[in-house]
Chain A
Amino acid sequence: MAEVTTTAPTRHGSDGAAPLERNERKSSPARPARVIIGAVGMAVTAWFVCNAFLAFAYYPQWFANSGILVGVLGLVIGIGGSLLFFYFLNLCIEGFPSRFAEGLIPYAFLLPGFSLIAVFLLYPTVQTIIYSFANDDSTAWVGLDNYRAIFSSGAFWSSLLNNFLWILIVPVVTVAFGLAVAVLADKLSPTGEKTAKSFIFLPMAISFVGAATIWGLVYAYNSPGEAQTGLLNAIVTALGGDPQPWYQIDTARLNSLALMVILIWLQTGFAMVLLSSAIKGVPEDTVEAGRMDGASEIRIFWQIIFPQVRTTLIAVLITVLILVLKVFDIIYVTTNGLYNSDVIANLFFRKLFTDQQAGQASAVVVVLLLLVIPILIYQVKSFRDQEANR
């Protein structure tokens, strides 16, 4: 992604879009003073900013123990510091012979961002992959033992099956509900549409842990004959049935389905908002043309509107899908993986923190990573295609 944008201006510059300017610059010689001032400036700025932030943490009394003062200073020093840093960086590079500098500038400006990605994303990823071949406290190599251990455990395959079901069911149902709501709300009066959409969007503002707790009240179980605090069991008993311990029924993975409902409830609003705006973006004249030709409303939807919102639909689908792959909170709060309802992310958490088996925990997430990669590649590709079509 990144190099597409960076190469563009470079090529633009060197392939003769501005030959005059280029020739002019070509003559500029190296200016070592600028290079040195720039380099020293960068070092001093970085040193000052880092120490300022350490001082915020270590010596709050210097700042009158005031959180607000520290916050304001943090903003000023943080933003000002980066501006100053880039100024010196620019100064340093301009000191080089212009031909060299032109090629260097995009990389130099990318470097800070890229190194952050390397430190916080690439480094942990590679580290995890490497630790998946080491023992419980990462002090000795064990070869493929961790992978052998997880692939031979029933709990891992059960989690994998559950993850597969989550992937299969949640994104599709979420998008279907979101689309249905978006289409139907479009037919309502403006006030009706606003109200309906607000209500469906509301759960988006609730955290996963909060939602899981709320739904815990829906699925709660009391023994037969007692008053039922759970909404679902209250309905079942009112209709003359026996209360069911919903979280414990793993026949046909009913408990996993019950948990999926929570996520669908949370995410439908997200799908609805994006799809609704896509539907509103469908040019009225295409729909009008269909009406003129006497197409039914259903046919207009499937043959005129649907193809035009398809790209948004896929984007939403994939976003929800990636979210589902990472699903953890809901399971952790409700069943903690008991009763065959475990998923990969929760299994990883338990292996690492409860069982303290860093090796096996790493192996579990490496498997998760391998599963996510094809989807990531597809998403990046479809995003690019979409950009290219603009």
Chain B
Amino acid sequence: MDRRLSRRTIMTGAAATAALGMTGCLQNPDPSGGGGGGGGEKYQPGDTPGNGSVSILGAFGGQEQEAFMASLEKFEADAKITINYTPDKDFTNTIQQRAGAGDAPDIALFPQPGGMFDLAGKGLITPIDAFLDYDALNSTLIPGFLDSARFEGRVYGAPMRMACKSLIWYPKKAYEKGGYSAEPATMQELTTITEKIKADGIAPWSDGWDDGQATGWVGTDWIEEFMLRVHGPVVYDDWTKHRIPFNAKEVVEVFDIVGELLKGKGNVLGGTDAIINTPFSEAPLPLFEDPTKAMLVRQGNFVTGFFPEDIQANMDDEVGVYAMPTWEGGFDGQPILGGGDLASLFTLNDDTVKVMEFLTSDAFGGEWAAAGGWLSPHRTFDQSLYSDSITRQVAEIASGAAVFRYDGSDLMPTAVGGGSFWTGMVQWLQGTKTSQEVCDEIEAGWPK
């Protein structure tokens, strides 16, 4: 017995020592080691000749990839450059791994600025002012777009596609029959319209937040829209960059304003329970039922893909859209909330610069616009190239914007923008937490 015990003690001791020896140290805080990219001075053509081929990594595949390649065909022939595009569904992680391992593509198309900032911070991306005409680019882009790609004073990516979120959709026939105005100048005016709709016995709004593990992002969009409208882009930037705390009084005020709209009795079809339990893609469906159950849906331009098939076949007659109006007593100009793919340069040479110049110009995208599902971030883009009048209208709304801002939750750290902000919105909508409590909790969980 003694012998067994002692042997067991030795074995356990040895195992514990071995395990401790393997684990008793911390990880290297900076495993990447930097290098690559960089470049503080203005690039002159001819500094580094290219090899005639440029690799691009992006997140979109399928039809979008085909349209993207079609838009590049003529340029490739003219400039004698071959472009190799690789789509990757797990782009966010892939680009970090490849860039970290020194195997970055020449150009990457970031769907969200967060990952781009990480790599810019490591010095792997060349700022665009080093090789593009920043002022010329800024003058044709929708104002504010480049600011969303700014990291520590310099801009690291230029947009080649835009998503527009500040849109209110309505069922054209029923809406016009009801005699409601489709041109509200302010949110306050819109409220009088919704009161009228309510008086006619129809729910003014339909909304859906359910999206599995991502439930709550639709709610964050509501808050962002109102932050932009009530307090303007300066406070909005302070808020998304955490220069003001999440529980600042401006933010809490906006939560209360959104609360009046979403939680107000009879404002949203089915009330808060329905909002939480309806998938965001099904929110527009009650608009197209007969008789119409709800009149308005606030959602980005991508939502048209979830409309019923017979509606999609006849978009121009069935669907109407206007920009979410401004807030009386808030910011004066028309703000637009959205997103976009940002093109960033990893390899600096003549060919890659030429591709970047074309991708980020207003000449890019004619073929994609005709194929549908694409919006140019340039105000100067030829709008006659869009395939239907609804898209043209959305493009007009976007290009008419006084200020454009990136979706705030995409700019915040994942722990907030993909975590506590989402769950906080659900708890707030349910009423388990007040505006102040939710904001306090998100602020407390902000990564230090």
Interface residues of A (CB under 8 A from B): 3, 7, 118, 122-123, 125-127, 130, 134, 136-141, 220-224, 226, 245, 248, 332-333, 336-339, 350, 354-357
B8 pairs with A223, CB closer than 8 A: no
A355 pairs with B276, CB closer than 8 A: no
Q: Knowing that A126-B19, A248-B430, A355-B447 are A-B contacts, what are 7 other residue pairs whose CB atoms are under 8 Å apart, sorted by A's residue number?
A: A118-B18, A118-B19, A122-B15, A130-B24, A138-B26, A223-B271, A355-B415
Q: List 25 A-B contacts (CB under 8 A).
A: A3-B11, A7-B4, A118-B18, A123-B22, A126-B22, A127-B22, A130-B23, A136-B447, A139-B26, A139-B29, A222-B277, A224-B270, A245-B273, A248-B277, A332-B213, A336-B212, A338-B215, A350-B419, A354-B415, A355-B414, A355-B415, A355-B419, A355-B445, A356-B415, A357-B415
Given contacts A245-B277, A355-B415, contact A223 B269 (CB under 8 A): yes
CA–CA, A352 and B8, complex, Å: 35
Output the residue of B18, B24, B277, B413 with the most chain A CB within 10 A.
Answer: B277
> Which of B8, B16, B273 is the one whose CB lies under 8 Å from A221?
B273
> Which of A123, A140, A222 is the one whose CB lies under 8 Å from B26?
A140
A139 pairs with B27, CB closer than 8 A: yes
Binary per-residue interface labels of chain B (167-205) against chain A in the complex, 1 for a CB within 8 Å, 0 otherwise: 000000000000000000000000000000000000000
CA–CA, A339 and B433, complex, Å: 11
A3 pairs with B8, CB closer than 8 A: yes
Question: How far, in Å, is B426 (CB) from chain A's closest CB?
Answer: 6
> Which of A139, A220, A338 is the one whose CB lies under 8 Å from B426?
A338
Chain B hits for A122, CB < 8 A = 15, 18-19
A356 pairs with B447, CB closer than 8 A: yes
CA–CA, A337 and B423, complex, Å: 9
Q: Which residue of A lies closest to B203 (CB)?
A: A223
CA–CA, A134 and B23, complex, Å: 13
B7 at the interface (CB under 8 A from A): yes
Q: Which residue of A lies closest to B445 (CB)?
A: A355
CA–CA, A330 and B290, complex, Å: 37
B136 at the interface (CB under 8 A from A): no
Chain A hits for B7, CB < 8 A = 3, 7
CA–CA, A140 and B271, complex, Å: 48
A126 pairs with B23, CB closer than 8 A: yes
Chain A hits for B77, CB < 8 A = none
CA–CA, A138 and B23, complex, Å: 12
Chain B hits for A355, CB < 8 A = 414-415, 419-420, 445, 447
B418 at the interface (CB under 8 A from A): yes
Question: How far, in Å, is A373 (CB) from chain B's closest CB?
Answer: 14
Interface pairs A-B: 3 shortest CB-CB: A223-B270, A139-B29, A355-B415
Chain A hits for B271, CB < 8 A = 223
Question: How far, in Å, is A46 (CB) from chain B's closest CB?
Answer: 19
Chain A hits for B274, CB < 8 A = 222-223
Chain B hits for A3, CB < 8 A = 4, 7-8, 11
Chain B hits for A126, CB < 8 A = 16, 19-20, 22-23
Chain B hits for A137, CB < 8 A = 27, 29
CA–CA, A312 and B212, complex, Å: 39
A245 pairs with B23, CB closer than 8 A: no
Q: Which residue of B lies closest to A2 (CB)?
A: B11
Chain B hits for A333, CB < 8 A = 212
> Which of B15, B273, B426, B427 is the one whose CB lies under 8 Å from A223?
B273
Chain A hits for B23, CB < 8 A = 123, 126-127, 130
B213 pairs with A336, CB closer than 8 A: yes
Chain A hits for B413, CB < 8 A = 356
A356 pairs with B414, CB closer than 8 A: yes
CA–CA, A137 and B29, complex, Å: 8
Q: Which B residues between 2 and 47 are near A, CB-CB below 8 angstroms?
A: 4, 7-8, 11, 15-16, 18-20, 22-24, 26-27, 29
Q: Which residue of A lies closest to B271 (CB)?
A: A223
Question: How far, in Å, is A85 (CB) from chain B's closest CB?
Answer: 21
B276 pairs with A354, CB closer than 8 A: no
Chain A hits for B18, CB < 8 A = 118, 122
Q: Which B residues between 312 and 354 are near A, CB-CB below 8 angstroms?
A: none
Chain B hits for A245, CB < 8 A = 273, 276-277
Chain A hits for B420, CB < 8 A = 355
Question: How far, in Å, is A71 (CB) from chain B's closest CB?
Answer: 26
Chain B hits for A130, CB < 8 A = 23-24
Q: Which residue of A lies closest to B448 (CB)?
A: A136
> Which of B15, B19, B418 is the one whose CB lies under 8 Å from A354?
B418
Chain B hits for A136, CB < 8 A = 447
> Which of B24, B213, B276 is the one whose CB lies under 8 Å from A248?
B276
Question: How far, in Å, is B95 (CB) from chain A's closest CB?
Answer: 17
CA–CA, A336 and B216, complex, Å: 12
Question: How far, in Å, is B90 (CB) from chain A's closest CB?
Answer: 14
> Which of B8, B19, B212, B414 is the one whose CB lies under 8 Å from A123?
B19
Binary per-residue interface labels of chain B (271-310) against chain A in the complex, 1 for a CB within 8 Å, 0 otherwise: 1011011000000000000000000000000000000000
CA–CA, A125 and B213, complex, Å: 28
CA–CA, A356 and B269, complex, Å: 37
Chain A hits for B16, CB < 8 A = 126
B414 pairs with A248, CB closer than 8 A: no
Question: How far, in Å, is B89 (CB) from chain A's closest CB?
Answer: 17
CA–CA, A264 and B410, complex, Å: 39
CA–CA, A245 and B271, complex, Å: 12
CA–CA, A130 and B24, complex, Å: 7
Output the residue of A126, A127, A226 with the most chain B CB within 10 A.
Answer: A126
CA–CA, A226 and B27, complex, Å: 55
Chain B hits for A134, CB < 8 A = 26
Question: How far, in Å, is B306 (CB) from chain A's closest CB?
Answer: 17
A339 pairs with B430, CB closer than 8 A: yes
Question: How far, in Å, is A335 (CB) from chain B's closest CB?
Answer: 9
Question: How far, in Å, is B7 (CB) from chain A's closest CB?
Answer: 6
CA–CA, A221 and B418, complex, Å: 25
Chain B hits for A125, CB < 8 A = 19
Q: Which residue of B lies closest to A115 (CB)?
A: B18
CA–CA, A304 and B22, complex, Å: 54
B277 pairs with A221, CB closer than 8 A: yes
A248 pairs with B273, CB closer than 8 A: yes
Given contacts A248-B273, A248-B430, A356-B415, contact A338 B29 (CB under 8 A): no
Q: Which residue of A lies closest to B268 (CB)?
A: A223
Chain A hits for B213, CB < 8 A = 332, 336
Binary per-residue interface labels of chain B (414-439) against chain A in the complex, 1 for a CB within 8 Å, 0 otherwise: 11001110010011001000000000
Question: How far, in Å, is B14 (CB) from chain A's closest CB?
Answer: 10
CA–CA, A338 and B18, complex, Å: 41
CA–CA, A339 and B427, complex, Å: 7
Question: How far, in Å, is A215 (CB) from chain B's closest CB?
Answer: 15
Chain B hits for A356, CB < 8 A = 413-415, 447
Chain A hits for B26, CB < 8 A = 134, 138-141
